[in-house]
Amino acid sequence: MQPPTQVLHQRLDLDGVEVFYREAGPPDAPVLLLPHGYPCSSYQFRNLMPLLADRWRLLAPDFPACGYSATPYDFTYDFDGYADFLARFVGHLGVERFALYLHDFGSQIGLRQAISRPQRITALIVQNGDIYEDQLGPRYATLKQFFANPSEEALGTLAEAVSLAGYREEFLNEVEPAVAARIAPDLWQLHWALTTPLRKRIALQVIAGLRENLAWFPHYQAYLRQHQPPTLILWGPRDGYMPEGAARAYLRDLPDAELHLFEDGGHWLLETHLQQAAVLIRDFLGRTLSDVQQG
């Protein structure tokens, strides 16, 4: 018998696409769905999952063209395509209701899933995921230049970020050296090793798609105002893309949300502040999901 907190590394065929995912916890327990951000994969949740798997079922898929999932040519590589992928993924596994962990671009993908099927969402955990345009940090400067003038030259500048050096910069972001030392170089080395020329073009396409995604920000906010899902906000303000104001902005639409700032933390809290975050997540899920019955 496997230990109750053992993480399993699974594969499934989803409409002809091989999907890799990590799974932990009892199959009949309340579900926490863990869509990843950029430039990452389910690998970012590898340390969190065992800390929760005694009471909850954790599911962390690699999106197509990310991690160990396949890179199909006929997949729609945009936020709608990834949101549809999430819906089909949980459907394939027979999951009817779930809490969502929203991080990085996974926040927008997850919220599109929530908007389309609000009855499925039991709770939200938001960790450095931006949906408020007026609070975008200074590291958005290059993206904003592209948004204003989506020329080939501007696109070429964005392409420079899809590199080993660019990945390293994404992971280290604005944290101080003592905190950066907790972030394993395996992160950027692994994801660069998995970045084929095709995946690099796809990543650039998704980054460029952030321009259209801005129009969705009011829709994400409207979902929160209308449905008021129980929400835990964990935030590292040393984030050049999503500073403290981006976290506090959620309280405009979710005044009852629980906000916790990790003052020396940045974009990748599960690398630098794992134990503290896990304690807060366990407490939150224990109060909100214990009685949820999965269909």
Contacts of 99 (CB under 8 A, 6+ apart): 30, 31, 32, 33, 121, 122, 123, 124, 125, 285, 288, 289
176 part of a folded domain: no
169 part of a folded domain: no
Supply the CATH number for residue 224's domain. 3.40.50.1820
Question: pLDDT tens, 148-194?
Answer: 888 888 888 899 999 999 999 999 999 999 999 999 999 999 999 99
Question: pLDDT tens, 263-284?
Answer: 999 999 999 999 999 999 999 9
Q: What is the pLDDT of residue 295?
A: 40
20 part of a folded domain: yes
Q: Which domain holds residue 39?
A: 8-138+217-288
Cα–Cα–Cα angle for 274, 95, 40, rounded to 5 degrees: 40
Query: What's the gap between Cα 12 and its chain centre?
Result: 21
259 part of a folded domain: yes
58 part of a folded domain: yes
At residue 234, the 3 state secondary structure works out as: strand
* Beta strand spans in the chain (E): 8-14, 17-24, 31-33, 57-61, 98-103, 121-127, 231-235, 258-261
First vs last C-alpha separation in the chain: 25
Question: How many domains does the structure of the chain reveal?
Answer: 1
127 part of a folded domain: yes
Query: Cβ(115)–Cβ(219) under 8 Å?
Result: yes
Question: pLDDT tens, 225-235?
Answer: 999 999 999 99
Q: What is the pLDDT of residue 155?
A: 87
Residue 294 has pLDDT above 50, yes or no: no
Closest of 195, 201, 199 to residue 168, by C-alpha: 195
Question: pLDDT tens, 34-79?
Answer: 999 999 999 999 999 999 999 999 999 999 999 999 999 999 999 9
